[in-house]
Structure 1
Amino acid sequence: MLVRNRKSFNKGLLLMGSFLFVLVLIFLPMEIWGTRGDHTMNFLEYADNLFNRLSKGSSYFIPEVQRQVKPLVGTPFHAEIKPGKPDTAEAIVTVLRANGAEAQVTPDGMVVARGNLGALLTSAVRDSEALFENNAQRVEAKYPGLQGRDVLKAWWSFLDPLVKELQQQTLFNPAKIVNTVEKKAVEPGFNFYGIQAEDVGDRALLVIMLLTFYVIYTLWYGFAIFELFEGMGLSMKKAKIKKEV
């Protein structure tokens, strides 16, 4: 290896070495430093868990979604949809029938359903809220044989293709509301199940410190690479403009 600038190269080695040392610390179990949660976790897991809790605290849209769904109560619908995953078809039928809709699986794997669209969406929102609040038992009691997340997976597998089906029927406003239920109720309920919500205002100082560390740590690595390349004589300089004679 050809070193052109020993000072820059050594500086780069020092920065990269210290960067890697801190990286090792990040992946060490936090109990080594006297910090322990419900289970042993490292700094990266702790930060990820924290931001998940903070994200959940700002992802509760249920009241807003309920207001949008209410005008659809009593609106009939008929749809034939193809679930993205064939293995969810039976679960979809179970969920729909439990909420008063007529549903069946055709031999080619299509789910044919008809019923009260607003009532179904209201049930989807309620089930999503239960999972969001980590109350899977309430949902599982309603659908024997299905786990809480399996219920929301069935709702999502039904609602996602239903959006396009309603659009093809020129029912654009109902399609928009179905999409809202999917994105702002079912998905948050599924993704944040098992996570305790926290308000970002209660952890403002810690969040600022973590984000500051992230920026500094990113720059740390960048400068290490820059100094190493500089030491090896690899640098970017503006090309000289050739003047024609």
Structure 2
Amino acid sequence: MASSAQLKTKGLLLLASFFAILFAIFMPLFPGTHGEKINGLDYLDNFFNQLSKSSAYYIPEQMKKAEKYNGQQFTTSLKMKTPEEAAVTAKLFTTNKITAAAEGDKVKVSGDFGTMITIMLKDADAMYKNDGQALTAKYGVDERQTVYSWFQSLAAMEKDMTKAGQFEQAKFVKNCMSKAIEPAYNYYKVEAKPVKEEIVLLIASLAFYVIYTMWYGFGLLYLFEGLGIKLDH
């Protein structure tokens, strides 16, 4: 059986090495996506974002569902957050030959509902594939602002449709927001990677997380036992 001194030494060594590794994790020692050096947390955050992006691509599915609404005329007044945002949103619609006019913080829009949604989904698809320059060239507006404005437009549509009892359309619009617009915005500039191509690093990172957590726990356990402090359930 180990003596108190041995337990304290073992505990201190484990904790010292734990914090040494923690310090290294927060140092810019890891490769970034553009050749720069980043810390370990940012590296793993980007790594898991790349893996999750490859399994969050539902835009083609939503485009297929949008075909159901082709030919359905739709007129509404979309309430935006600010008059400036309304002006930008109106510009997005009119660029795509959809009748729209900004009136204060509202955008009165009229046109084919299926066509409107398809336009938004195509823009989201470009954003998802990191082709933001295509949107900037098309609208003369920052690509993130474009997708954000489409999100706000859909949010206003979904709210109005729910009030009008158009629950099927409202559900479809909400799915477009959560399965197309949001991922396109959140994953912009993240390069997707299939899990099967990074399975070794994935397993290694998860194993490290488990071992590293236990490392700290055993360090405290040995240190406290060496000090005569018993840890009971």
Common fold by TM > 0.5: yes
The one-letter code matched in structure 1 to 2:76 is A
Q: Which residue of 1 aligns with 2:126?
A: 130
Mapped pair 1:184 → 2:184:
no
The answer on whether the counterparts of 1:12 and 1:227 sit within 8 Å (CA) in structure 2 is yes
- Residue in structure 2 matching 1:111, options 95, 107, 111: 107
Deviation of residue 106 (structure 1)? Answer: 3.0
Percent of pairs with identical residues: 34
Mapped pair 1:171 → 2:170:
no
CA 1:233–1:160 in 2, change beyond 3 Å: closer, same or farther? farther
- Residue in structure 2 matching 1:121, options 117, 123, 126: 117
After superposition, residues 216-235 of structure 1 pair within 5 angstroms as 216-230=211-225
Query: Which runs of 5 or more structure 1 residues have no equivalent in the other structure?
Result: 239-245
After superposition, residues 71-86 of structure 1 pair within 5 angstroms as 71-84=68-81
Deviation of residue 129 (structure 1)? Answer: 0.6
Please give the alpha-carbon distance, in whole angstroms, between the structure 1 residues aligned to 2:145 and 2:171. 24
The answer on whether the counterparts of 1:131 and 1:190 sit within 8 Å (CA) in structure 2 is yes
Query: Which runs of 5 or more structure 2 residues have no equivalent in the other structure?
Result: none
RMSD of Structure 2 on Structure 1 (CA): 2.4
Higher deviation after alignment, 37-46 or 77-86: 77-86
Paired residues in the alignment total 229
Q: Which residue of 1 aligns with 2:17?
A: 18
Mapped pair 1:92 → 2:61:
no
Deviation of residue 8 (structure 1)? Answer: 4.6
Please give the alpha-carbon distance, in whole angstroms, between the structure 2 residues aligned to 1:8 and 1:49. 39
The one-letter code matched in structure 2 to 1:24 is F
Please give the alpha-carbon distance, in whole angstroms, between the structure 1 residues aligned to 2:83 and 2:209. 42
Deviation of residue 158 (structure 1)? Answer: 1.0
Please give the alpha-carbon distance, in whole angstroms, between the structure 1 residues aligned to 2:221 and 2:101. 63
Deviations 1:195-242 (A, max 9, x none): 22111101111110011111111222233344445555655546xxxx
Please give the alpha-carbon distance, in whole angstroms, between the structure 2 residues aligned to 1:229 and 1:12. 8
CA 1:36–1:196 in 2, change beyond 3 Å: closer, same or farther? closer
Q: Which residue of 1 aligns with 2:53?
A: 56
TM-score using structure 2 length: 0.86
Please give the alpha-carbon distance, in whole angstroms, between the structure 2 residues aligned to 1:27 and 1:93. 45
Please give the alpha-carbon distance, in whole angstroms, between the structure 2 residues aligned to 1:225 and 1:76. 67
Instruction: Say which SS state the counterpart of residue 189 (structure 2) adopts.
Output: coil
Deviation of residue 85 (structure 1)? Answer: 5.8
